[in-house]
Amino acid sequence: MGNSLIRFDYDVVLFSTRVRDDSRQGELMEADSDLVAAVDIGTSGCKVLFFNPFGKIVSSGFVAYLNRQIPPDRVEQDPEVWWDAACRASRQALEGIPYPEQVKAVAVTGQRASAIPVDGKGKPLRPAIQTQDKRSTPQCDNIRGSIGEDEIYRRTGLIIDPYFVAPKILWIKDEEPSVFARAHKFLTVQDLVLHHLCGEFAIDFSQASRTMLFNIASKGWDCRILEGLGIPLEKLPDVYPSGSVVGELTLEAAEATGFREGIPVVAAGGDQPCAALGIGAVEPHILSATTGTGTYVLALRSQPELDPKRRFLCSCHVLPDLWAIEAGILVTGAALSWFLKNFCQVEGEEEDPYCALEDMAKESPIGANGLLFIPHFAGSASPYWNPKARGCLHGLTMGHTRGDVARSLVEGIFLEVKKNIDLLSASGVKGIEVRVSGGVTKSDFFNQLQADIYGCLFRRAGEETTSLGAAILAGAAIGWYRSIWEGLRGVIGEDEMEEKHPDPKSHRQYQQILKHHHELYMALHQAFPTEPKS
């Protein structure tokens, strides 16, 4: 099987998003009033969107919340905040349609790798330990000693890092043994909301892939790792393929959300692979790069693929029998929000903050007059994997302006993304294309800047790709489409995506800046190593 084409176990060859399949348009039109609800539990808010069979958003709801930051390195959330937000956002969305009975299924997606111990009734026993939390660094050291980096990576496709679930569980085991003993299950955010909706303890392949306890080849909990870490198998939820119906909406959940009792509840999968599906990144040469709190770059593979230097991750995709190789930057969009909140005054609540950022950045030339920004506010993920790394703005002089700082922040984030695009493109796949979504992609200026830095074809999709991916999976699960691929053909088209091509001169300049950016990180790493120098 070549890298340029993947064939699936269906009657059709891998679809091309250049061609829409309208063969069932009349059939689907009859069900146009039917909807699925996509519940997306993000790091800063819960979004509920209603989609029709053509991928059109019919109604929406959103409820924001804040994480609890505990200096220097802890981030927590009250798990009931997520369920409350999901209920409120669902009722908001229901206000925009005539009848609640139009909603035929609820699909759940969301942030990955939070750890939540719950009792037998699904009640949380402590606040959730969030993805950005670094308290479990000592537990990571213990995992290296007991099992080893190579064995963990070979089995799970993951780097040993506090980001993932297993070290968080071990921290609870070590520091809060009574909580560990009382825990009936350890859940992620998606699993918790699924339990509230249908009463089942369920996790899908893509979410389980972020626990560091899941074997990505056999697609089951890895008993060798569980035994080595002293985590009983019975403390983990049942595993399902992504996009599976895991239960039916309970009466209690129906009363809380406003949806009809008994409708199917679908475990769609993690937010990033759902976004890759919703963006149409379903061929090996098409990379997805979705920006929210952080930015995650994914590429599709027909079998598990590992990096000899352990710089990228490999996880089960939400697409059946496929895998995603992934590189991530933990803080990107959140860094821009931090800058705007603390150092800029955006005039009026109606003004888009990214417009203000764009106006400032336009005042500065390529390279921000020598400023370099490293966005490691919560440590570094790919390609460096350094939880002790920190953000840096290098090269400041009295001559620099606010515009220079704004441009350096944006360039620094996209340069970090570029490192990971290059990393995932290193396997020889030709004709790389990057598809993006997220708030920052509203800016035409920033989109061209990304194309110039990445040096390849750039396409901007809609903003709700994660929810759209979840909706496609739900639609296939309840029979709207004969397959996921048919659903995807019906809702995504390249002709609807904004397209940018890199300016060759600008790209050459950024290639040199990229070299300096990497050298700056390495100099900082050598000056402040994570381990004592030998």
Q: CA end-to-end span of the chain, whole Å?
A: 45
| Six-digit token string for 513 | 């800046």
| 177 φ, ψ (degrees, to nearest 5) | -60, -30
pLDDT at 354: 79
| Six-digit token string for 516 | 């300096």
Distance in angstroms (rounded) separating the CA atoms of residues 252 and 192: 15
pTM of the model: 0.88
CA atoms within 13 A on the CB side of 34: 17
pLDDT at 245: 98
pLDDT at 293: 83
Distance in angstroms (rounded) separating the CA atoms of residues 20 and 16: 8
* CA–CA distances in Å: residue 46 to residues 85, 108, 231: 6, 11, 31
CA atoms within 13 A on the CB side of 339: 28
Distance in angstroms (rounded) separating the CA atoms of residues 115 and 211: 9
| Burial of 218 per CB tally in 10 Å (0-12, 13-18, 19+) | exposed
Give the model confidence (pLDDT) of 256-304 as tens digits: 999 999 999 999 999 999 999 999 999 999 999 988 888 999 999 999 9
What single letter denotes the amino acid at residue 85? A
The closest alpha carbon to 271, from 36, 39, 15, 37, belongs to: 39
pLDDT in tens, the chain (534 residues): 333 333 333 222 233 333 334 444 334 434 458 999 999 999 889 999 999 999 999 999 999 999 999 998 899 999 999 999 999 999 999 999 999 999 999 999 999 999 999 999 999 999 999 988 999 999 999 999 999 999 999 999 999 999 999 999 999 999 999 999 999 999 999 999 999 999 999 999 999 999 999 999 999 999 999 999 999 999 999 999 999 999 999 999 999 999 999 999 999 999 999 999 999 999 999 999 988 888 999 999 999 999 999 999 999 999 999 999 999 998 998 899 899 989 887 655 556 777 889 999 999 999 999 999 999 998 898 999 898 899 999 999 999 999 999 999 999 999 999 999 999 987 667 789 999 987 778 889 999 999 999 999 999 988 899 999 999 999 999 999 999 999 988 887 666 788 999 999 999 999 999 999 999 999 999 988 765 443
Domains and CATH numbers, the chain: 25-278+465-477+480-491 (3.30.420.40), 286-460+503-527 (3.30.420.40)
pLDDT at 12: 29
Q: Are 248 and 198 in contact (CB under 8 A)?
A: yes
Query: Which string of DSSP letters, residue by residue, matches 124-154?
Result: BSSPEEPTT--TTHHHHHHHHHHT-HHHHHH
Neighbours of 31 (CB within 10 A): 14
